[in-house]
């Protein structure tokens, strides 16, 4: 199942995020982990300026080893305190980091303050299912307590002055059916639907694409 989620997320990033970043010169990523997704962008845009921000020094160390690129800037700092020294960025990216951040509104405002006018962004994050968890009597561990929904995150980004340009699923998990093939098949169908027709109840994770006017 993990491999299926990885592959659908990879295809989502390539198919949905790359068109947003086609002419970028500066790239900012929060929570790069071991640099798995970053490597897709560094390979596609070798001349862009890359900055990776993570509160975990261990994760940045893994990213350094994965990417082995001395031109990348690594910032070991809480994103809410990060500054670009007055140089706005063209493209913002983050995958599976937002679910560990409680202040979604503050996070959205921070992105808006760092993006240049006309700049774009792409977020992938775990989808909250409070009703499903309640029915199962399941209480999420503290580290996963800040998962959100596409609707709530859209509101936070819009309140920060950002324009939502696309919403969709990055990975699918059908409740009680642990079938990688079925979940991948469902993802292939759902990725072609407009956002208002997507049943987010089966989304393992979702993406939001946005633009700063």
The pLDDT, as a whole number, for residue 139 is 65
The residues spanned by each domain of the chain are 2-210
Q: Helices (DSSP H) in the chain: which residue ranges?
A: 2-12, 36-44, 57-67, 104-114, 130-135, 150-159, 180-190
Task: Indicate the Cα dihedral angle 94, 99, 105, 107, nearest 10°.
Answer: -40
The pLDDT, as a whole number, for residue 10 is 97
The pLDDT, as a whole number, for residue 187 is 96
The pLDDT, as a whole number, for residue 156 is 98
For 25-60, the pLDDT digits (tens) are 999 999 999 999 999 999 999 999 999 999 999 999
Cα angle 74, 114, 106 (rounded to 5 degrees) comes to 100
CB-based contacts of 13, cutoff 8 Å, min separation 6: 37, 40, 95, 122, 124, 170
Name which CATH class applies to 2-210.
alpha beta
Task: Round to whole Å and give the CA distance between 154 and 125.
Answer: 12
Residues of the chain where predicted confidence (pLDDT) is lower than 70? 130-145
Beta carbons of 105 and 75 less than 8 angstroms apart: no
Instruction: Report the greatest alpha carbon distance in the chain.
Output: 50
The pLDDT, as a whole number, for residue 137 is 58
């Amino acid at each position: 199942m993990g491999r299926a989620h990885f592959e659908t997320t990879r295809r989502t990033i390539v198919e949905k995020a790359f068109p947003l970043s086609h002419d970028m010169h500066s790239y900012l990523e929060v929570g790069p982990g071991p640099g798995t997704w970053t490597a897709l962008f560094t390979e596609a845009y070798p001349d862009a300026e890359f900055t990776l921000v993570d509160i975990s020094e261990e994760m940045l160390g893994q990213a350094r080893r994965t990417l082995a690129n001395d031109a990348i800037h690594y910032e070991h700092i809480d994103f809410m305190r990060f500054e670009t020294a007055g140089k706005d960025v063209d493209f913002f990216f983050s995958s599976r980091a937002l679910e560990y951040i409680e202040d979604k509104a503050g996070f959205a405002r921070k992105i808006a303050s760092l993006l240049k006018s006309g700049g774009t962004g792409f977020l992938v994050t775990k989808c909250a299912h409070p009703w499903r968890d309640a029915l199962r009597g399941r209480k999420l561990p503290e580290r996963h307590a800040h998962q959100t929904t596409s609707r709530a995150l859209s509101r936070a980004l819009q309140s920060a002055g950002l324009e939502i340009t696309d919403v969709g699923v990055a990975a699918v998990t059908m409740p009680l059916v642990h079938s990688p093939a079925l979940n991948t098949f469902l993802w292939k169908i759902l990725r072609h639907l407009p956002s208002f027709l997507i049943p987010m109840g089966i989304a393992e994770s979702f993406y939001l694409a946005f633009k700063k006017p």
